[in-house]
Structure 1
Amino acid sequence: MKVLHIINSFKGGGAEKLILQLHEMSLKNGIDSHALSLMSPSNECLANTYALNFNNPYRIQVLFKLYDFLSAPEWENLDIIHVHLFPSQLYTPIISSILNLKAYLVTTEHSTHNSRRDIWYGRLIDKFSYNYYRKIICISLGASESLLRSQPQLSEKIVVIYNGIEIKRYSLSSISYPKGKTLVILSVGRLVIPKNHETAIRALSKIYTHNFEYWIVGSGVLEPHLKKLVNELNLEYKVKFLGFREDIPELLNQADIFLTTSYWEGFGIAVVEAMAASLPVVVSNVSGLREVVLEDFTEIPKTGFLIDPKSEDDIAICLNKLLVDARLRMEMGKNAQFRSLKFDIQKTFDQHRQLYQSLLENKQ
């Protein structure tokens, strides 16, 4: 089986992390796997990875470079082209059709929201591109429901496969870091509007215990604004901006509470990583995240708290409960670690492989 993954970039969040994990596991399991970035190459030095080296995937020149790449003889016998994120989702079927490639097209919907769904011509663009795909993988039920509200004709194409992580990489048994006396609240995510760090920072001024710090891991365009806000609220002694980091497992195991205040999330892989590290989680009450923290058929999480991401008071109240109660932190952390086992990357890989194989069997 020969598979080519195509994505805008190898660097970023959950989608980028997933594609590299699937690619690496495919190689280890005998699949002839390849991965292409429209932008810069991967830092992980994985075999069979390629890059078109554009700074912006929306440039029209990307189409011509992608055409040249897929025109190479080595791609004539592709079985599956698996595409992730827009505009890769638009470019790839166009070029594949022009070249008359025989590979089945599969795409993954990584979010419960995109701005194209809010405008009529954006929905037309999505309808055009999705029409070419044999299967559309959604990383959560929330992502599936959101897509169907915008494109109801896709119901027969959609399959839900949850994202996964390498559980043992994040577990306390594999990493041992002594926790300090100061409790650490940790957030991981790009510093952009949808991640809503501003409300989280404002909530800190309403927390009555003083024995904590808030670590923010990630970079983005809002960093200067958020640092200014921290200074205005006199929280510079509480809030630490750690920038983009590769050592997430180590940071998680130094933390005591994980916080996500996103306005929306397709799945929330950073939350699963935190749960695998036995951290209680305080997360937005939005569809993709609810599925992660709630046990099946329950409404109240045992792994942490669901909060209104727009409410500073709600965030502060839930953080306070965990900061002052070590037993509650430990209990919810244990529940979180057990819940994270549902999202093992091996399960994610197995389901992808089965999907690919089913397409090829039907082809024969």
Structure 2
Amino acid sequence: MSGKGLRDPFAKGLIRAAYRRALGLHERLSAFTSGGGGEPRLYYGGARGGDLGGPKVKIKKLNEAFPERLWSYNLVYVLSNAPYLPADSLARLKARGIPIVSNQNGVFYPAWFAGDWEAENKRMGEQYHLADYVFHQSEFCRRAAERFLGARAGAGEVLYNAVDTTRFTPVKKIKRREGDPFYFLLAGKVQAHQAYRMEASVRGLSVARIQGLNARLIIAGAIDDPARQSAMNVIGNLGIGDFVEFRGPYAQQQAPALFSAADAYIMTNHQDACPSTVIEAMASGLPVLYANSGGVPELVGEAGGVAIDTGECWDEQLLPSPDAVAEGMAQIVKNRRAFAAAARARAVERFDLSHWLERHRRVFESLRHGERV
């Protein structure tokens, strides 16, 4: 396995600290123009929307339904993985009667973060405990937060990430002919400390091909150079370069076409909290082969794919063996139709964007009117 864990560069830490100070100043100045009643008017606490990365995509979705009001807001929405607003600013917002809603993703722990994880959790915990309401992205996220941030006194619920299931849909493919390759997709942002995600997948692919499975792997997304190089080294050593395709970064507008080009999705991350790419795959009718840890089992369920037992651990990353990945690939290929139908049905029923936005709206309105959520 490559990499010992993520560590923030020193320069990035300085930039982030300066950004927090600027947001603190903005909060003080906006005290003269924010607040009041009426419909929810949101401020996203310095988090920005965009097409690359889970937090940016989430803010973009919310901003389309609840446009940001930088100066005339009456409700603040913050992300656990973008805790930019200083604690004293959050405290002043609460004192002014402005509700704070937090979206809680994962936490920091030694298995994936090589820096001062306790200090990072302390900062995250300040926001977590000051929030009036918390959306946990999965039951795993709730358990992790309670373990590392402490039990909350305030209200909250589990609300999984969501996708537009009218955009991510199964595409009718030409009937598979004997001898056609079966394409697995690995997609999303891969940082240097997550190189193992690609390595585990390509090692499993190699074993599967040796065993006679005509499978190939598509890798797409924003991949850090060290992670890509590490994966390329493994691919070269295994001699499977002809069966692994790198497609590079993609925008959200390109995502449906990317998923429709594959037959199944593979996710070998250790304890991933609630990856939206898994939901996008399910909505696209792709079975999911996944490490049985984190929040992913809650998403896929028993019928939407194949789980590879790895276990839960906060101190080190537990990875599926190549043999286990290969066996899972074979099961996916054998039962693709049933897995695909179940994955699509589960995504539509549980993870559609319309429900996610409506639940946000109801919570926002209840908080604005001082009602119990």
TM-score bracket, shorter-length normalisation: 0.7 to 0.9
Higher relative contact order (CA 8 A, sep 6+): 2
Give CA-to-partner distance per residue, 1:271-314, whole Å, 9 cap, x none: 111111111110110131011011xxxxxx11110113332211
The range that moved more, 125-134 or 306-315, is 125-134
Structure 2 match to 1:197: 198
Q: Evaluate the alpha carbon distance shift between residue 212 and residue 329 of structure 1 in structure 2; reply closer, same or farther with a 3 A threshold.
A: same
C-alpha separation in 2, matches of 1:98 and 1:239? 52
| TM-score where L is the length of structure 1 | 0.76
- Is 1:4 aligned with 2:52? no
Percent identity, aligned pairs only, is 20
**Contact 2:265 2:289 (C-alpha < 8 Å) held by counterparts:** yes
Letter of the 2:336 partner, please give it. R
Q: Match for 2:160 among 159, 162, 172?
A: 162
Structure 1 match to 2:355: 347
**Contact 1:260 1:271 (C-alpha < 8 Å) held by counterparts:** yes
- Is 1:312 aligned with 2:322? yes
**Contact 1:186 1:216 (C-alpha < 8 Å) held by counterparts:** yes
Q: Match for 1:22 among 50, 62, 80?
A: 62
Structure 1 match to 2:169: 171
Q: Match for 1:84 among 54, 73, 79?
A: 79
- Is 1:220 aligned with 2:223? yes
**Contact 1:117 1:150 (C-alpha < 8 Å) held by counterparts:** no
Q: Match for 2:130 among 119, 129, 132?
A: 132
C-alpha separation in 1, matches of 2:305 and 2:108? 24
| TM-score where L is the length of structure 2 | 0.75
Gaps of 5+ in 2: 1-39, 311-318
* SS at structure 1 position matched to 2:207: coil
Cα offset, 1:335, TM superposition: 0.9
Q: Evaluate the alpha carbon distance shift between residue 8 and residue 78 of structure 1 in structure 2; reply closer, same or farther with a 3 A threshold.
A: closer
Q: Evaluate the alpha carbon distance shift between residue 155 and residue 318 of structure 1 in structure 2; reply closer, same or farther with a 3 A threshold.
A: farther
Q: Evaluate the alpha carbon distance shift between residue 243 and residue 178 of structure 1 in structure 2; reply closer, same or farther with a 3 A threshold.
A: farther
C-alpha separation in 2, matches of 1:165 and 1:15? 14
C-alpha separation in 1, matches of 2:57 and 2:261? 22
Cα offset, 1:128, TM superposition: 3.0
**Contact 2:205 2:216 (C-alpha < 8 Å) held by counterparts:** no
Aligned-pair Cα RMSD in Å: 2.7
Gaps of 5+ in 1: 27-32, 35-47, 49-73, 295-300
Q: Evaluate the alpha carbon distance shift between residue 236 and residue 170 of structure 1 in structure 2; reply closer, same or farther with a 3 A threshold.
A: same
Structure 2 match to 1:332: 339
C-alpha separation in 1, matches of 2:114 and 2:75? 26
Q: Evaluate the alpha carbon distance shift between residue 343 and residue 113 of structure 1 in structure 2; reply closer, same or farther with a 3 A threshold.
A: farther
C-alpha separation in 1, matches of 2:275 and 2:175? 25
**Contact 2:184 2:266 (C-alpha < 8 Å) held by counterparts:** yes
Structure 1 match to 2:242: 237
The total of aligned residue pairs comes to 307
Letter of the 1:184 partner, please give it. Y
